[in-house]
Chains A and B, each alone.
Chain A
Amino acid sequence: MSAVTNAPESPKFTSKELVTDQEVRWCPGCGDYSILKQVQTVVPELGIPRENIVFVSGIGCSSRFPYYMETYGMHSIHGRAAAIASGLKSVRPELSVWMVSGDGDSLSIGGNHFIHLLRRNFDINLLLFNNEIYGLTKGQYSPTSEEGKITKSTPMGSVDHPFNPIALALGADGTFVARSMDRDPVHLKEMLRRAHGHKGTSFLEIYQNCNVFNDGAFEIFTEKASKKEEAIFVENGKPLVFGQNGEKGIKLDGFKPVIVDIGTDQNSINDLWVHDERDRVKAGILSRFFDRHEEGKPHYPRPFGVFYVEDRTRYEDRFNEQVEQAIAKKAPDLDALLRGRETWVIG
């Protein structure tokens, strides 16, 4: 089922009713506010009874999220939200389970659970707020920080090579892999709907500005002046076009992406790479549009949108099917179980 084609059911509650009595404690200006707002806007449209919604988070700034959602929620421990959400979803498949996490939470301390969640393909929506920094612990570099990042723990610059979260999710056989940003509410809402509509683990990376410790990390993608040059919004079935006036496009020369000017004699829009979100190989190429302007190397715009979608059986379905099959085959009989195969009587 795809959520975009289905008219939203009438909301059973309003966005306002999703606001809790807890004071929101993020720093003023933090990108988390916008994400919270978009989530509170989209969730009522989804037609899920409020009591069936659960938000699970780990530790980090983003992980405060559940406290601000008037649904069921758990703020757990660092890196483990995926494991907790998996346990919950496996026994309560009817619940709508959302996981809120950050780059440190999911890609550093919780990296193991992250990849296993994706391969098992629980129907869980994983919102990864990527701010490329540790905010809650006050500004150390994260596994998504760029090489050479000067932070409190790396005064001479970090020496770690960063993760490419989209490529990692594809590598872990994620069945829904997408990217959005805090500063584009319309796009973010659309991605949230798509994430919910996908039956399987939906990985949505959200570029989120930490204005205190890593301000402007994603500026070139989010600010008007550079956004059209630096970001490319991909849509299924549409050619890859970007630029101030949509004058640039991306063509595939074999497996090699080439940036071309369209509307010239050499290239028309018809020659461009048409995005097919079910093409795993091309999703892989797209995920590698990840450079940070290096002299002498080709520079690609950063893609936003759904990179890849695939239908694959969900863990919880098979997990519960086995139990049902076992029950259908053999009714439970506790006395028989306790008795076992061989007994003897002492008179």
Chain B
Amino acid sequence: MADQQQEVLDRVIIKFAGDSGDGMQLTGTQFTNTAALLGNDLSTFPDFPAEIRAPQGTIPGVSGYQLHFGSVNIFTPGDACDVLVAMNAAALKANLRHLRKGGTIIANTDGFDPKNLRLANYPDGINPLQDGSLEGFRLITIDVTKMTRAALTESGLGIKEIDRAKNMFVLGFLYWMYNREMVHTENFLKEKFTKKPDVLDANLKVLRAGYNFGDTSETFTTRYTVHPAPMPPGTYRNIMGNQATALGLIAASQKCGLELFLGSYPITPASDILHDLSKYKNFGVHTYQAEDEIAAICAVIGAAFGGKLAVTTSSGPGIALKGEAMGLGIMLELPMVIINVQRGGPSTGLPTKTEQSDLFQAMYGRNGEAPMPVIAAKSPADCFETVFEACRIAIESMTPVMFLSDGYIANGSEPWRFPQAADLQPFKGNFVSAKDGEKFLPYKRDERLSRPWAIPGTKDLEHRIGGLEKQHETGNISYDPENHEFMVRMREAKVAKIADHIPLQTIDNGNEKGKLLVIGWGSTYGAIKAAVKDARAKGYDVSHAQLRHLNPFPKNLGEILYNFDQVLIPEMNTGQLRSIIRDKFMVPAIGLNKIKGMPFSTTEVLEKIEELCK
């Protein structure tokens, strides 16, 4: 055995990259779960190819999974990687620019044969593993395919099945390199392959072989340790944004005592919420896959009329199709939650990439004066609480609510200190029954300006609702000009009034007053959080506030804004929140805008903070 050294690191960023068929998502998830169980803080970001089956070995076919874990608090999946696992030439080519100078490349030499090099568009006769072009990095080459096959010569499995275990070799090697136990993955494999003992055996063997390879090979002398992170005490699990959204919806349904109805049409990157929810029918969850986006939200309107907690999930293009029906929901004043997991636009845009460019659509994307509450989650785990809040607002204020997530947090993951069911605040719908001698007024309002929810089947409350303008209180059709203006302002006031029932805005980090306030919304949270933390450590007077409520804004937002000399708003769009903030508060907010289908890096935000604080 080589003379091994141990080095302690406070954080590491690993990118697992390979062909779609190389099992990189699984490898990444396994390493992540093991890190989580060891108490590291972490954040992950998968990077899928846009095509389902892009040609093997090509750059469009590369599938990636980035993991940032550490003994310190982690807020983003990280900027530049420390380690790049490249299963083939295309994976190296697509990801090399994300590797930091001096970073480590673990390359599967078999994926760099002439065929793979050609598919990755390397010039004839050029192999980056051999031509010295990677000199600035630490290059570890392993013929993973050969090793895997060698480990399984006696397995009796076919060559195709044997090669499928390749990723376990890499995983085993990384476990060795980072001093990790393998029992978590071993248990996972045991469960996954209960019915295929030979495949289970093969995977376990290769995993071990990868580990032992690190241990016995003379080449590798350093192993790394990343200690647990100081996290608030509690019980944690790892969770992805779409998963947290699904759980939040179920929790809300349980806490308001209404069955959940999901009307949805498959669309990237929102479909996983539909998939997840359809597994939980035992919670009274009804999932309805409609014929199109419009039918999905219309079925939701029907279910809401019928007295259920009704939700539709989609992404930008689908939300565009739902526009007219959202307007109907606003006129009917029925509760429903519309979920937009944003992706790159316009039109079909960049379906597998992330963007925050649907804020205007959420705020204004309907005909007429059609105000709708808008609420956005800031991280994968935060989707839970935020969507729960969206349901509460919808039910209590009898209104459609738009919940914004995006591809980054939908597929990203982080540790979640999940709540106890008993700690979640119940809420209830304003259901009514007939009162003797009183004429039922379907649009009579309570102190929230919310109307009663009289569902079919309730005796003596028969009434008609529709998309035509209604008379105040009676809900009868009315073309009266005075009444129309009154009702337009009423619907606006109703949404504005929600501000009375949401928490005041808080400062996430920094002082209440100062030179620079960085305001974010949605998934920019991690990058801003990390950047502001670093900037403050460098002595800059900068604070950070992250908005969950975008319509209405928390009541004290103006006050907070006026307490700072400058306001910076980083967004993955051309400045949509900035326009709204400028419009509502007349502050000359400055934008930091990135529209590349990629989240902000901490450095990008930090550089802008430094520029503004100079």
Pairing of A with B:
yes
Contacts A76-B301, A87-B261, A346-B231 given; indicate if A67 touches B421 (C-beta within 8 A): no
Per-position contact with A for B28-44: 1 when CB-CB < 8 Å, else 0? 00000100111100000
CB of A83 within 8 A of CB of B234, answer no
CB of A346 within 8 A of CB of B419, answer no
* A80 CB within 8 Å of chain B: yes
Contacts A74-B466, A344-B236, A345-B235 given; indicate if A84 touches B460 (C-beta within 8 A): no
CB contacts (< 8 Å) of A72 on chain B: these are 456, 462-464
Complex-state Cα separation, A322 to B280, whole angstroms: 11
B317 to chain A, nearest CB (A): 17
Complex-state Cα separation, A338 to B424, whole angstroms: 12
* A2 CB within 8 Å of chain B: no
Per-position contact with B for A43-86: 1 when CB-CB < 8 Å, else 0? 00000011111101001000000110111111111001001111
CB of B456 within 8 A of CB of A92, answer yes
Q: Name the contact of B254 in the complex, choosing from A77, A86, A322, A334 (C-beta under 8 A).
A: A334
* B310 CB within 8 Å of chain A: yes
CB of A342 within 8 A of CB of B282, answer no
CB contacts (< 8 Å) of B284 on chain A: these are 323, 327, 332
CB of A338 within 8 A of CB of B421, answer yes
B189 to chain A, nearest CB (A): 14
Which of B85-93, B215-223, B324-332, B605-613 sits within the interface?
B324-332
* A331 CB within 8 Å of chain B: yes
* B239 CB within 8 Å of chain A: yes
Q: In chain B, what residue has the closest Cβ to A51? A: B459
Residue of A69, A91, A322, A339 with most chain B CB atoms under a 10 A cut-off = A91
CB of A323 within 8 A of CB of B328, answer no
A103 to chain B, nearest CB (A): 19
CB contacts (< 8 Å) of B457 on chain A: these are 51-52, 92, 94-95
CB contacts (< 8 Å) of A84 on chain B: these are 298-299, 301-302, 305
Q: In chain A, what residue has the closest Cβ to B188? A: A342
* B300 CB within 8 Å of chain A: yes
CB of B247 within 8 A of CB of A51, answer no
CB of A112 within 8 A of CB of B282, answer no
* A155 CB within 8 Å of chain B: no
Per-position contact with B for A123-155: 1 when CB-CB < 8 Å, else 0? 000000000000000000000000000000000
CB of A112 within 8 A of CB of B291, answer yes
CB contacts (< 8 Å) of B458 on chain A: these are 51
* A5 CB within 8 Å of chain B: no
Inter-chain contact count A-B, CB under 8 Å? 203
Complex-state Cα separation, A73 to B286, whole angstroms: 23
* B465 CB within 8 Å of chain A: yes
Q: Name the contact of A88 in the complex, choosing from B36, B231, B237, B305 (C-beta under 8 A).
A: B305
Contacts A20-B464, A87-B261, A332-B284 given; indicate if A344 touches B301 (C-beta within 8 A): no
* B238 CB within 8 Å of chain A: yes
* B493 CB within 8 Å of chain A: no
Contacts A52-B457, A91-B261 given; indicate if A334 touches B33 (C-beta within 8 A): no
CB of B295 within 8 A of CB of A77, answer no
* A340 CB within 8 Å of chain B: yes
A293 to chain B, nearest CB (A): 37
CB contacts (< 8 Å) of B37 on chain A: these are 342, 344
Complex-state Cα separation, A54 to B307, whole angstroms: 13
Q: Name the contact of B306 in the complex, choosing from A59, A67, A92, A332 (C-beta under 8 A).
A: A92
* B259 CB within 8 Å of chain A: yes
* A319 CB within 8 Å of chain B: yes
CB of A56 within 8 A of CB of B302, answer yes
Complex-state Cα separation, A74 to B295, whole angstroms: 16
CB contacts (< 8 Å) of A339 on chain B: these are 235, 237, 418
Q: In chain A, what residue has the closest Cβ to B234? A: A346
Q: Name the contact of A80 in the complex, choosing from B38, B295, B307 (C-beta under 8 A).
A: B295
* A270 CB within 8 Å of chain B: no
CB contacts (< 8 Å) of A225 on chain B: these are none
A48 to chain B, nearest CB (A): 11
Q: In chain A, what residue has the closest Cβ to B41? A: A346
* B250 CB within 8 Å of chain A: yes
Complex-state Cα separation, A86 to B299, whole angstroms: 6
Give the residues from 308 to 347 in chain A that come closer than 8 angstroms, CB to CB, to chain B: 319-320, 322-323, 325-327, 329-332, 334-335, 337-340, 342-347
Complex-state Cα separation, A83 to B302, whole angstroms: 8
Contacts A74-B464, A332-B283, A346-B39 given; indicate if A338 touches B251 (C-beta within 8 A): yes
CB contacts (< 8 Å) of B239 on chain A: these are 340
CB of B476 within 8 A of CB of A74, answer no
Complex-state Cα separation, A112 to B123, whole angstroms: 51
CB contacts (< 8 Å) of A74 on chain B: these are 305, 332, 464-466
CB contacts (< 8 Å) of B466 on chain A: these are 66-67, 73-76
CB of B462 within 8 A of CB of A319, answer no
CB contacts (< 8 Å) of B250 on chain A: these are 334, 337
Complex-state Cα separation, A94 to B234, whole angstroms: 46
Q: In chain B, what residue has the closest Cβ to A95? A: B456
CB of B232 within 8 A of CB of A346, answer yes
Contacts A83-B295, A89-B302, A345-B235 given; indicate if A77 touches B328 (C-beta within 8 A): yes
CB contacts (< 8 Å) of A20 on chain B: these are 464
Complex-state Cα separation, A116 to B299, whole angstroms: 12
Q: In chain A, what residue has the closest Cβ to B477? A: A67
A73 to chain B, nearest CB (A): 4
CB contacts (< 8 Å) of A86 on chain B: these are 288, 290, 295, 298-299, 302
B553 to chain A, nearest CB (A): 30
Give the residues from 231 to 289 in chain B that come closer than 8 angstroms, CB to CB, to chain A: 231-239, 247, 250-251, 254, 259, 261, 263, 280-286, 288
CB contacts (< 8 Å) of A71 on chain B: these are 462
Complex-state Cα separation, A54 to B38, whole angstroms: 57
CB contacts (< 8 Å) of B327 on chain A: these are 77
Complex-state Cα separation, A156 to B61, whole angstroms: 54
Contacts A332-B254, A338-B251, A338-B419 given; indicate if A319 touches B456 (C-beta within 8 A): no
Q: In chain B, what residue has the closest Cβ to A86? A: B299
CB of B295 within 8 A of CB of A337, answer no
* B303 CB within 8 Å of chain A: yes
* A37 CB within 8 Å of chain B: no
CB of B236 within 8 A of CB of A90, answer no
CB contacts (< 8 Å) of A322 on chain B: these are 281
Q: In chain B, what residue has the closest Cβ to A120? A: B291
CB contacts (< 8 Å) of B33 on chain A: these are 342
Q: Which 4 A-B pairs have the closest CB atoms?
A: A87-B302, A87-B299, A75-B466, A83-B298
Question: What are 14 A-B pairs with beta-carbon distances under 8 A?
Answer: A51-B462, A54-B305, A73-B465, A77-B467, A83-B299, A86-B298, A86-B302, A91-B261, A92-B307, A319-B286, A325-B281, A327-B282, A345-B235, A346-B39
Chain B residues proximal to chain A, CB less than 8 Å: 33, 36-39, 184, 228, 231-239, 247, 250-251, 254, 259, 261, 263, 280-286, 288, 290-292, 294-295, 298-303, 305-308, 310, 324-325, 327-328, 332, 418-421, 456-468, 476-477
Known: A22-B477, A51-B461. 7 other contacts (CB 8 A): A20-B464, A74-B465, A77-B324, A92-B457, A337-B250, A337-B280, A343-B237
